[in-house]
Structure 1
Amino acid sequence: MLKVGELAALANLTVRTLHHYDSIGLLRPQARSDAGYRLYDRDDVARLHRIQALRAFGLSLSDIGLTLDSPAGEPLAIVDRQLAALEVRMAEATRLRDQLLRVRAQLVRGSAPDLSTWLTTLENTMDMTNVYERYFTKEELDRLPLLRNDATKAQWQGMVEQARGLIDSQVPPDADAARAFALRWLQTFARDTGNDPALTAKLNLMVERELDAVGMPASVMHYVHAAIGELKLETWAKYVRPEVVERMRRHYATRGHEWTPLIARMQAEMQADPDADGPRAHELARQWMDLFHDMVGRDQQDIDAFRAASATEPLLRMGSGIGGESVDWLRKVMQAQRLAAVKDGNDPA
């Protein structure tokens, strides 16, 4: 039996996340110690594996809860799905590696590879970029220098190595050096997405789901997220009460991962339903407000202070996938909901 802290450390999660899973009924431990501490057994750990796997596939916590009780959520089905995805990536990488080794051998011998060899190499290289094509249109890919510019790729590799150095040196995410690094990361990210919220939302979602395919170590991504969180909380603290800052910190530890897929879905719906009058738009707005109130609370003064900070400090919007058009679209949905409530006689005022 594992205590909650032990399981959190082994699973690279926070204790607060496991507490949240317990509170919403997603992962309730089988036993408690005499002192009342949570104790997790083999079946609990197996269920956690399924939860984390489904999260990696992009499901929300509510969808995960439904999936776990269906045939698609059985342990064998989850492992088979993970293996299938991994085997595809491994096959792509192996195919490209073998082809590059053949090309290298020819170049070392001083001979020029023929046209068919270069075409095969190009084909295998493009297989590795298919992960991007699953998330971006051709026009969007042309606007991402990450794929087209070797200098940009080298700079991002350097950023990853800087993060590794901070991790190896045990620099905490709230240290000045970590926050300065987080600001450089956000500025570089904004530059390489053209500060486009729609591109940012898609790239965030892709990286979250495809860490291995894009060559981003999970430890680096977790550290970067933590450092960015500390940087932004430091800024929000200039505007909101300390109690709200702590509430936000708890929110990011337990539900922060829900924002990335929600923002991506909202950006997609903005394209499909710019007038924001469809049922999906209203459901996304409901999910948004649920997360927002969990993060900030329901006190109107706190909400006003949070919104003032977001409007005043560009840093708080950087890297999120949220722009002015996103906010306007959400307001349009919420205004329609208020009008509908008044029409039905359910005006909360």
Structure 2
Amino acid sequence: MPLTVGELARRCGLTVRTLHHYDAIGLLQPSLRSDAGYRLYDRANVERLHRIQALRQLGLSLADVGTVLSGPAQPLDQVINRQIAQLDQELERATRLRNRLVALGGQVAAGQSPDLAEWLDTLELMTMYEKYFSPEELKNLPLHNDPDVLAQWNALIGQVQAAMDRGVAPGSPHAHALALQWMEAVQRGTGHNPGFISRLKAMQDNEPELRERNGITPALERFIEQALVDARLAIFERYLLPPEMERMRANYGKQMYDWPPLIADVRSAMNAGTPPSDPQAQQLARRWMELFRSYAGDDPATHARIREAYANEPDLRSGSTVDQAMLAYVRQATLAAG
């Protein structure tokens, strides 16, 4: 039986907004229409949605999901088997945590435990991070292992929540300053590793317990997103013409979460010594330019003004780990790709 967007959202646990976004970017478009003209999702749409969500759970960006699904379709049983393998890993981690708790319980019974609640919370949080980061990566994640960084992060979250409680608007200068501080804290907390940003975002989205601990509610997250976009648009306004700003206001920020995994891939290629002329680098450059054009348009003069802004305004790159060397690498790869 075909489903409306509201019915599908309710049955699969997504929001209507998410399904509309998937439709708008061509990732999941309803196959049918009702007599009244409403779009309807059929069995094939639901199967495709399963593939989309499975790939998202494996850490792929929406752009990468689209690339994968545009190629030869992987048999659905293989997709399901990959999900089962991922769940098996999570069950293994849960078993390890249980064993640790049993050991702690024995110590408690022997009167050897300090503050049990704090200890258990720490252990649970450590296990939560282990779902997304390897032990070696955790050593290089300041947000996890540096008390000073964590304290600064918690203080900033408190400042943002206090501003929201006072009714500060995302478009205000104070909100802009908080958003730019937030991005600096993200960069500091991830050890300037762009690959960590997407995984922290996934952990934030998938682990309700983490939100309860750190206070980054969905409302606070939206506040920072809006304030950051508005702060950067205010910078671009010093460089762009009114028609260019109109396009920027309509499109800038729509794909902000597609940038971190791409930036991480570019950084990996640079660290591996991949020359800009290599097909891999050229493919990365094409992905970069697709995202860039989504808000910049196709006018070379507009591109030049935006690049001037990026070169002169560090706040446009804060939190992204994008530097002049990376921008030069992408430009060279773009030229090599023709």
Aligned length: 317
Instruction: Tell whether 2:146 aligns with 1:149.
Output: yes
Check conservation: 1:55, 1:64, Cα contact below 8 A: no
**Which amino acid is the alignment partner of residue 184 of structure 1?**
Q
**Which residue number corresponds to residue 308 of structure 1?**
308
CA spacing shift, 1:149–1:279, aligned 2, 3 Å: same
Q: How many Å apart are 1:306 and its aligned residue?
A: 1.0
Check conservation: 1:282, 1:337, Cα contact below 8 A: yes
CA spacing shift, 1:125–1:208, aligned 2, 3 Å: closer
**Which amino acid is the alignment partner of residue 153 of structure 1?**
L
**Which residue number corresponds to residue 289 of structure 2?**
289
2:30 partner SS: coil
CA spacing shift, 1:155–1:112, aligned 2, 3 Å: same
**Which residue number corresponds to residue 31 of structure 2?**
30
Instruction: Tell whether 2:196 aligns with 1:203.
Output: yes
Distance, in Å, in 1 between the alignment partners of 2:232 and 2:45 is: 34
Check conservation: 1:58, 1:261, Cα contact below 8 A: no
Check conservation: 1:135, 1:202, Cα contact below 8 A: no
Distance, in Å, in 2 between the alignment partners of 1:70 and 1:6 is: 23
**CA distances 1:249-296 after superposition (whole Å, capped 9, x unpaired):** 554565443322211111111112353232111121122222222220
CA spacing shift, 1:3–1:149, aligned 2, 3 Å: closer
The farther-off stretch of 48-57 and 100-109 is: 100-109
**Which residue number corresponds to residue 236 of structure 1?**
236
**Which residue number corresponds to residue 320 of structure 1?**
320
Q: How many Å apart are 1:324 and its aligned residue?
A: 1.2
**Which residue number corresponds to residue 21 of structure 2?**
17
CA spacing shift, 1:44–1:247, aligned 2, 3 Å: farther
Q: How is 1:215-226 mapped onto 2 (pairs within 5 angstroms)?
A: 215=210, 219=218, 224-226=224-226
Distance, in Å, in 1 between the alignment partners of 2:88 and 2:164 is: 30
Percent identical residues:
32
**CA distances 1:225-260 after superposition (whole Å, capped 9, x unpaired):** 444333322322332245434534554565443322
Distance, in Å, in 1 between the alignment partners of 2:257 and 2:59 is: 10
**Which residue number corresponds to residue 117 of structure 2?**
none
Check conservation: 1:57, 1:209, Cα contact below 8 A: no
**Which residue number corresponds to residue 117 of structure 1?**
none
CA spacing shift, 1:127–1:239, aligned 2, 3 Å: closer
**Which residue number corresponds to residue 116 of structure 1?**
none
**CA distances 1:33-65 after superposition (whole Å, capped 9, x unpaired):** 566553445653553343233134233043332
Query: If the length of structure 2 is used for normalisation, what is the TM-score?
Result: 0.72
1:290 partner SS: helix
**Gapped runs of 5+ residues in structure 1?**
114-120, 339-349
Query: If the length of structure 1 is used for normalisation, what is the TM-score?
Result: 0.70
**Which residue number corresponds to residue 4 of structure 2?**
2
Poorly superposed stretches of 4+, deviation over 6 Å: 161-172
**Which residue number corresponds to residue 189 of structure 1?**
186
